[in-house]
Structure 1
Amino acid sequence: MSSSSASSGVIQNRGFPVKCWCGDDVTIFTSKSVDNPGRPFFRCETKRDPKTWTNKRDSHLFKWVEDAVYEEVEDVLPKFVIIANELNKAKSEANELNVMIHELKEEAMLSKQEICKWKVCLKICFLWLCLISIFILYMMLGKAKRNEFGVA
């Protein structure tokens, strides 16, 4: 996860270096100095020979590996915070959606119960309508038969 971009030609100072300021590749070397024995560092490949390392500011890259690691971690931490916030936001939204789903299921169950009640009510009304129709028909037929026989 290097902060330097070799493809765009822009070389930044942060993170793991890929290219030197001169454009050549960078390699990891191990220090053999008395002050920093065994300490790894990045150095331009054109400066492979330690005898030419007279000046750290010789316009070729020199960077301690732990500095590069620290910069990478520094650059990534804010991204982790953003990701953690987005994750918390997504969890919160998921919880809200689960609550809404639960509420909608309850509403659907209540609606089904209401529909069943209305079906029963409709059947009862239809039964009463049939009974009243039969009663009216019976009354009309009974009156018609009485009129046939001359009964007033």
Structure 2
Amino acid sequence: MGKIINPVRDSSSILFDLVLKNLDSHLSFFEYRMMSSGCEDSSVNTMGIRGIPEQCGCGRRTGIYTSKTKVNPGRTFFRCPMFQNDHLYKWVDEAVYEEVQDALPKVECFASDVMKIKMEIESMKTVEEDLKEDVRKASNKLKKLNVIMKVDFSVVCLGVVICLVLIMFDKADGLSMNSY
């Protein structure tokens, strides 16, 4: 019937190996799918399982086999180790196609989320720039106020010194400030 490739490996590494194996092909995945379909498709028993099947309905893990028929030479398929018609049998390319179909809405949703997040980031960058400008303005105003405060403090100190000097001269002359 077919040669077993490796029935124990998980589906993600199987998918990766199949993608790498078909990279050298000059046909796209969809062209390959269309050309490789044959009369054996009518006997496919997917048991209603979409995508890459990990196990048959009987509970056994599926294996990957390679077709040796003239209609589909070298085409890989999943199959229950029981090799009976009422057990799982599914072409790998069809399983991968279903996985891609099922993943596309999720990818589109992620792409939409990424766009929303990018817009939020841009908005936050604008807010950040505005806040930096506000901080710069406040810092400049604070520096100016510090200079004004130092000048005012100097004026007050000078006033106090002048008052003290006047009081000292007044007492030295024996004059009272009340006598004026």
Shorter-chain TM-score: which interval? 0.7 to 0.9
The alignment status of 1:14 with 2:50, answered yes or no, reads: yes
- Structure 1 match to 2:81: 45
- Structure 2 match to 1:128: 155
- Structure 2 match to 1:33: 69
User: CA separation in 2, counterparts of 1:123 and 1:34?
Assistant: 98
2:76 partner letter: P
Give the 3 Å change call, closer, same or farther, for CA 139–39 of structure 1 in structure 2.
same
Q: TM-score normalized by structure 1?
A: 0.73
User: CA separation in 1, counterparts of 2:66 and 2:160?
Assistant: 106
Q: How far apart are residue 120 of structure 1 and its match?
A: 0.9
- Structure 1 match to 2:98: 71
Select the residue among 115, 120, 124 that pairs with 1:93.
120
- Could you say what secondary structure the match of 1:116 adopts? helix
The alignment status of 1:84 with 2:111, answered yes or no, reads: yes
Q: How far apart are residue 90 of structure 1 and its match?
A: 2.2
Task: Summarize deviations over 1:79-137 as a string: whole Å, max 9, x none.
Answer: 21122122222222222222222222222221111111111111111111122222223
Aligned length: 133
- Structure 1 match to 2:144: 117
For the pair shown, which has the larger CA radius of gyration, 1 or 2? 1
- Gaps in structure 1 of 5+ consecutive residues: 3-10, 53-57
Identity %: 36
Q: How far apart are residue 37 of structure 1 and its match?
A: 3.1
1:44 partner letter: C
1:32 partner letter: K
User: CA separation in 1, counterparts of 2:165 and 2:55?
Assistant: 106
Q: How far apart are residue 12 of structure 1 and its match?
A: 5.8
1:28 partner letter: I
- Structure 2 match to 1:147: 175
Q: Tell me, yes or no, if the aligned pair for 1:21 and 1:59 is still in contact at 8 Å.
A: no
Q: Tell me, yes or no, if the aligned pair for 1:19 and 1:26 is still in contact at 8 Å.
A: yes
